[in-house]
Structure 1
Amino acid sequence: METFDINRAVVSLALARMVDSFGNSFLIIVLPLYIARGISGGFFGLEESLITGIVLSMFGFLNSFGQPFTGRLSDRLGRRKVFVLAGLSVLCIASFAYSFATSYTALLVIRAAQGVGAALTIPATVALIDEYATDTSRGSNMGVYNTFRLVGFGLGPVVAGSVVHLGPYHVSVLDGRYSISGFNAAFYIAAGAILTSFFVVAAFVEDSPQTEPTAEELSVSVFSDGRTTLDPVFTLALASLFMAVSIALLSTIEPHVNRRLHQTAAMFGVQFGAFVVAQVIFQTPIGHASDRYGRRPFIVIGMLLLVPATLVQGFITTSWGMVIARFAQGIAGAMVFAPALALAGDFALEGHSGTQLSLLTMTFGLGTALGPLTSGFLIRFGYPVPFVFGAALALVGTLLVVTQVYDPGKTSKETAVGEPSTPDD
């Protein structure tokens, strides 16, 4: 850990986030299958794929639009930990509540509650990471945090597919024998994982000594007064949005993918997890390298790689071909995630990490909401269409980063967002 100059508090927070992500990622695999097999009746005459997209996207919409408010509130109060714990509590209760859902309306309400929980947790968590780090270790800390988070996120889908496939489970308690469906088992495991994360945060994570209340208002800039037309942080947020849409296209159309590739839900879980495995391998080294060589080159290359990695998924005809494509997409994501968050942290004003970093986490969450909704709608026009659309968005994001983003160099936290300074590259 010393090689990468990682704060010990970041490791504790990352471990908690890993367990939490494991529980949450269960639902990415389970919910589409649960809707297809366990929910009867209609929902305003909509097709099943579109309904699934709406349910999955509800989380992202509430999560995304809530983050600027919770991030700003955590800045004002000068407290992060209480927001993390409150969000984890909501996520845990909501995950357990899925076992009682029997209608589309109930699923939407529960998914919306999860979005609120994530909105409480994510900005405060990323702000803590930023405040624990320094200008020369921010990339490494963000990389380690994302690596741990993604280990949980990657394991969840693989395990979830197997849990559902092997159910029902028969449990003997006292003199009674009970049967638990594969779906309910998955919901219980998700809730238990998030509860474990709650206890880890409560026991081992504290607010940073740098975290102080601030009453100063801060607005998000769209345009820059300096060397670029758009504000660099706003541009990074747009790139994060486009990237998230591209990588989230797959989840809603799981039944279509399985039929096309003649595979099981467990294999789909492997494909989904391949994206995360690549990020786990490359995230920390890339984050550390961005501390030494600058953030922008990695972001540009990652966005550029995302274009073919997304496009090819619409034309692959073998299960292992999809695994390779998702792995390549994961490498692209690894080159963007940590460097983009670190670069936004480089620009962030002292005491405003929650507000400014929430712009990136918000747009990424919005992208994960729009991705499933987009693929659920576009799949009707042909299997390749969602992936062609995602690749086009990735290309636009690449052009924006190339033309509108620069490394600010060794600036202090007091430098205004978007204010020109000497670049590293």
Structure 2
Amino acid sequence: MRNLFRRILAQFIVDRRVLTLAFARMADGIGNSFLIIVIPIYVGSELITGTTFGLGESMVIGIILSIFGFLNSSFQPFTGRLSDFVGRRKPFLMVGLAGLAAMNVAYVFAESYLTLLAIRGIQGISVAFIVPASVALVNELATTQDRGGNMGVYNTFRLIGFGAGPVAAGAVVNLGPYTLPGGLAISGFDAAFYIAAITAMLSLLLVTVLISDPDATKANAGADLSIAIRDPTGKNLLDPIFTLGVASLFMATAIALFATIQPQVNERLGQGETWFGLQFAAFVLAQVVLQTPIGRASDRWGRRPFILGGMILLVPSTLVQGFILSSELMFVARLVQGVAGAMVFAPSLALAGDLAGEGESGSKLSILTMAFGFGIAIGPLSSGALVDYSFEAPFIFGTALAVLGTILVYTQVEETLETAHSVPIGSDD
């Protein structure tokens, strides 16, 4: 048992700055995911008024939530490219986290739908400063021998934060109002917004005190930052990083189809909200458990086998969700889909990091993070439109995307590790 614990602990031995950044993203992930639960309730409360331009409440909620993802993904290539140009990551992290914290406080004073939309939009832009800079920094603090493991550790803690937030958010709102020392009372909504702001400030503090830019990043500022679509080597038709971006877009879209069809899923399976919550969480659970070990394994045995295997596994795990008639089997399907996602995400970032030249990490890796973000936004919109035709239609659509992504990876992406590494996990060598 002791040896097993040591092996598990060894999985998380990384550069101190990578671990600090992972904890910082976990903290801001808790606060940001709070809002996914709180905002719909807040919009539906009597505290928010104003014109909705003839739109229904559910559509207003959808727009407010989705504006975050679209602006976040749209701005990532620009902030990633800019961080490469100036040769700094830390200032971008600080600007993004400060903006996130300020906007979390701003929710307390929001009184209209348009104000909420503006606040959520600014938050999306703020996070666009954080994501490319943080992934680029993890890449630059890693080497070819441990890049997959570092990406896995970073993503594991980020997902823990993202998964923990919604669990606590509903309780914080429902248990309000709260009486603070001195007799000051705050509502459950205000408490949730303040908690989200505090987590962002904690992340900002960690980054300010413990994170520093590598010297190599500063030395290579202003390097060639062009984004290639065609393979510059001429071996394949498409650039491998661009191909991985497209595959990530397809994967994220297929995964996110499930999010917005809760009523249809529950009706078809004859289940309640608890089962749907478990099925939705199954994907995140698999990601949290497997991101780091799969990232470590990709450092030993190569990136491509895991990416290709994950895309292949995504095909049946997406398709069966359209035909399953059991709550238990739907949980298993979502769990397998999470395994597929874990096999693709960290090794893809590692492979892109292997290919990125000095001073290019922000530009290159932002292609993958942007594509994944767009997929998470497109998936719910696609399922919402396609489910009107039949329950199976969204999942058939997602399966087609997964098949196309698999073909692209198989034909356009080559291995970046020349040999398998035999360095023991957790070794400093």
Q: So what's the TM-score if we normalise by structure 2?
A: 0.86
From 199, 219, 222, the equivalent of 1:215 is 222
From 10, 17, 29, the equivalent of 2:25 is 17
Match for 2:93: what amino acid? Answer: V
Partner of 1:415: none
Q: RMSD of the alignment, in Å?
A: 2.6
1:204 aligns with 2:213: no
In the TM superposition, residue 176 of structure 1 has moved relative to its aligned partner by 4.0
Q: Measure the CA separation in 1 of the matches of 2:14 and 2:119.
A: 36
In the TM superposition, residue 131 of structure 1 has moved relative to its aligned partner by 0.6
The unaligned stretches of length 5 or more in structure 2 are 1-8, 420-429
Tell whether the 8 Å contact from 1:53 to 1:252 is kept in structure 2 after alignment. no
Instruction: Rate the CA distance shift 1:405–1:46 in 2: closer, same or farther, 3 A.
Output: farther
Instruction: Rate the CA distance shift 1:249–1:43 in 2: closer, same or farther, 3 A.
Output: farther
Match for 2:37: what amino acid? Answer: I
Q: Measure the CA separation in 1 of the matches of 2:123 and 2:164.
A: 20
DSSP 3-state at the match of 2:177: strand
Instruction: Rate the CA distance shift 1:93–1:177 in 2: closer, same or farther, 3 A.
Output: closer
From 11, 15, 19, the equivalent of 1:7 is 15
Partner of 2:179: 172
In the TM superposition, residue 43 of structure 1 has moved relative to its aligned partner by 3.6
DSSP 3-state at the match of 2:216: coil
Match for 1:96: what amino acid? Answer: V
From 194, 198, 201, the equivalent of 1:195 is 201
1:232 aligns with 2:243: no
Instruction: Rate the CA distance shift 1:160–1:313 in 2: closer, same or farther, 3 A.
Output: farther
- What does residue range 22-61 of structure 1 map to in structure 2 within 5 Å? 22-35=30-43, 43-46=52-55, 48-61=57-70
Tell whether the 8 Å contact from 1:158 to 1:273 is kept in structure 2 after alignment. no
In the TM superposition, residue 184 of structure 1 has moved relative to its aligned partner by 4.0
DSSP 3-state at the match of 1:169: coil
How many residues were matched structurally? Answer: 407
From 281, 286, 304, the equivalent of 1:278 is 286
Match for 2:230: what amino acid? Answer: F
Q: Measure the CA separation in 2 of the matches of 1:391 and 1:118.
A: 30
- What does residue range 351-362 of structure 1 map to in structure 2 within 5 Å? 351-362=359-370
Tell whether the 8 Å contact from 2:64 to 2:120 is kept in structure 1 after alignment. yes
Partner of 1:85: 94
DSSP 3-state at the match of 1:350: coil
Identity between Structure 1 and Structure 2 (%): 56
Instruction: Rate the CA distance shift 1:262–1:96 in 2: closer, same or farther, 3 A.
Output: farther
Pick which of 335-344 and 69-78 moved more.
Answer: 69-78
Tell whether the 8 Å contact from 2:107 to 2:193 is kept in structure 1 after alignment. yes
Q: Give deviations 1:75-94, integer Å, cap 9, x for gaps.
A: 12111111001101111222
Q: Measure the CA separation in 2 of the matches of 1:27 and 1:318.
A: 31
From 141, 151, 154, the equivalent of 1:145 is 154
Q: Measure the CA separation in 1 of the matches of 2:191 and 2:324.
A: 33
Q: Give deviations 1:58-77, integer Å, cap 9, x for gaps.
A: 11211112111111111121
- What does residue range 3-402 of structure 1 map to in structure 2 within 5 Å? 6-35=14-43, 43-46=52-55, 48-164=57-173, 167-173=174-180, 176=183, 178=185, 180-181=187-188, 183-212=189-218, 213-224=220-231, 225-254=233-262, 257=265, 262-264=271-273, 268-316=276-324, 319-402=327-410
In the TM superposition, residue 299 of structure 1 has moved relative to its aligned partner by 0.7
Pick which of 53-62 and 133-142 moved more.
Answer: 53-62
Q: Measure the CA separation in 2 of the matches of 1:312 and 1:109.
A: 39
Tell whether the 8 Å contact from 1:18 to 1:153 is kept in structure 2 after alignment. yes
In the TM superposition, residue 202 of structure 1 has moved relative to its aligned partner by 1.4
Match for 2:297: what amino acid? Answer: A
The unaligned stretches of length 5 or more in structure 1 are 412-425
Q: So what's the TM-score if we normalise by structure 1?
A: 0.87
